Amino acid sequence: MPAVAEFEATARERLDPAHYDYFAGGAQEEITLRENEEAYKRLRLIPRVLRGSDKRDLSVELLGTPSSMPILVAPTAFHRLAHPDGELATARAAARAGTIMIVSMASTTAIEDIAAAAREVTPDPGLWFQLYLQPDLEFTEAIVRRAENAGVKAFVVTVDSPVLGRRERDDRNAFHDLPAGLFVENLRNIGENRSGGNTSHVREIVMSAGLNWDHIAWLRSKTKLPVLIKGVLHAEDARLAVHHGVAGVVVSNHGGRQLDTVPATIDVLPEIAAAVGGAVPVLLDGGIRRGTDVVKALALGADAVGVGRPVVWGLAAGGREGVSAVLDLLRADFDQALALCGGRHPADLTPDQVRR
Ligand SMILES: Cc1cc2nc3c(=O)[nH]c(=O)nc-3n(C[C@H](O)[C@H](O)[C@H](O)COP(=O)(O)O)c2cc1C
Ligand SMILES: O=C(O)C(=O)c1ccccc1
């Protein structure tokens, strides 16, 4: 089975170069983008032996949502740039894999349609919804209601984007608008269509530099669903998140697309896991490309990981089948690495099995 890198190579051949750059790129010098992957290559695994690691069970439950494996689909924007079937294909593949898809608020398919596609595959799909809280809270609440009515099971508020990172590839390519016919569908037909009907601008979603913990309290008051925050890199923020009743934290640097030169997520995971102390689930994304990467993240304290670009590469390479192939590949790779580490279940991995 081809590695994630081979799906990327195929995707690169198929995509408009500006769109490839949008998906692949990071902020500024892309130091963090590279670091996310490089950091895993510096870590060494110590297997345990004679532990009877047959009959492995990769399944986990996260905030009431079951997942067949601790590898989730991280929220990424604009899937119809990658393949005409866009988020419908991704949702069907995630549903077939039995894993959680965190739908991006910036999807090019409406959340209602994404949920319907997933439901064709399985009656109770694990869909979560990523939110950029908009300065207009009434408008934000309308999107929250839409997502709830569509059946999502948790909200993931992205907190690493008070302003958007500077992606120099997008500047060079003058990538400002989606191609004709593509829209940021979750913002359409809401609040009397405040964006005036033009929701095809790449930056239609507003970044809110004013966000603070009160906004998290506001969202919690508006929904009964679990609220996670995504984009935590400082242990103190993880502590504050627990203090403010957040249901889970996602250790993320947005795939190196926001503040450049922040550390690889795997390198800050131990301190964040220590700060959270098991109070709420800790998820991590950024640079996961192999089963051994998943093993290292789980051993160092993550309850599950997210994959962003690998899913996009699968989608661009082969639509739903391509996403399924990437998820199957990561599952098989993780299963093998877990077995080689002497584990039967994701929770069997421990920090002493990872060395610098
Ligand atoms: C093309 C692209 C679009 C993204 N769009 C979003 C988004 O809409 N919302 C969000 O919270 N994160 C977004 N992210 C960040 C991902 O959720 C995730 O943090 C990151 O991709 C993980 O790194 P990886 O691509 O190395 O797996 C995006 C990432 C990429 C690559
Ligand atoms: O490109 C991104 O990383 C991203 O998060 C985003 C934000 C707003 C609209 C589209 C994508």
Segment 231-273, tens digit of pLDDT:
999 999 999 999 999 999 999 999 999 999 999 999 999 999 9
pTM summary value: 0.97
The ligand placed nearest to the CA atom of residue 311 is 1
* Helix locations, the chain, DSSP H: 4-14, 17-24, 31-42, 79-82, 86-97, 111-121, 137-150, 168-173, 213-222, 235-243, 265-276, 291-299, 309-340
Contacts 24+ apart (CB under 8 A), 13-16: 14/316, 14/317, 15/81, 15/82, 15/316, 16/81
Å from CA of 106 to ligand 2 middle: 7
pLDDT (tens digit per residue) in 81-112: 999 999 999 999 999 999 999 999 999 999 99
The three-class DSSP label of residue 355 is strand
What percent of the chain is predicted at pLDDT more than 70? 96
CB atoms within 10 A of CB 244: 14
265: annotated binding-site residue?
no
- CB 208, CB 137: distance < 8 Å: no
- pLDDT for 2 equals 74
238: annotated binding-site residue?
no
316 pLDDT higher than 90? yes
Euclidean distance between CA atoms 351 and 355, whole angstroms = 9
- CB 118, CB 94: distance < 8 Å: yes
Regarding an ipTM greater than 0.90, the answer is yes
How many domains does the structure of the chain reveal?
1
- pLDDT for 202 equals 67
Catalytic residue among 19, 79, 83, 254: 254
Nearest residue (CA) to ligand 1, atom 28: 76
253: domain range?
A: 4-355
- pLDDT for 190 equals 75
345 part of the active site: no
* Burial class of residue 122 in the structure, from the number of CB atoms within 10 Å of its CB (0-12 exposed, 13-18 middle, 19+ buried): middle
Nearest residue (CA) to ligand 1, atom 3: 76
pLDDT (tens digit per residue) in 155-207: 999 999 999 999 999 999 999 999 999 999 999 877 554 554 555 676 689 99
- pLDDT for 196 equals 47
Q: Name the token pair of 277.
A: 């102390």
CA distances from 25 to 34, 171, 258 (A): 10, 11, 11
Listed residue (98, 103, 42) closest to 287, CA to CA: 42
- CB 225, CB 148: distance < 8 Å: yes
Q: Phi, psi (5° rounding) for residue 221? A: -75, -15
Q: What is the CATH number of the domain that holds 234?
A: 3.20.20.70
Mean pLDDT, all residues of the chain? 96
353: annotated binding-site residue?
no
Strands 60-62 and 65-67: antiparallel
Å from CA of 255 to ligand 1 middle: 6
Averaged over 44-54, what is the pLDDT?
97
- CB 323, CB 90: distance < 8 Å: yes
Euclidean distance between CA atoms 15 and 316, whole angstroms = 7
- pLDDT for 199 equals 59
The number of the ligand 2 atom at minimal distance from the alpha carbon of 167 is: 1
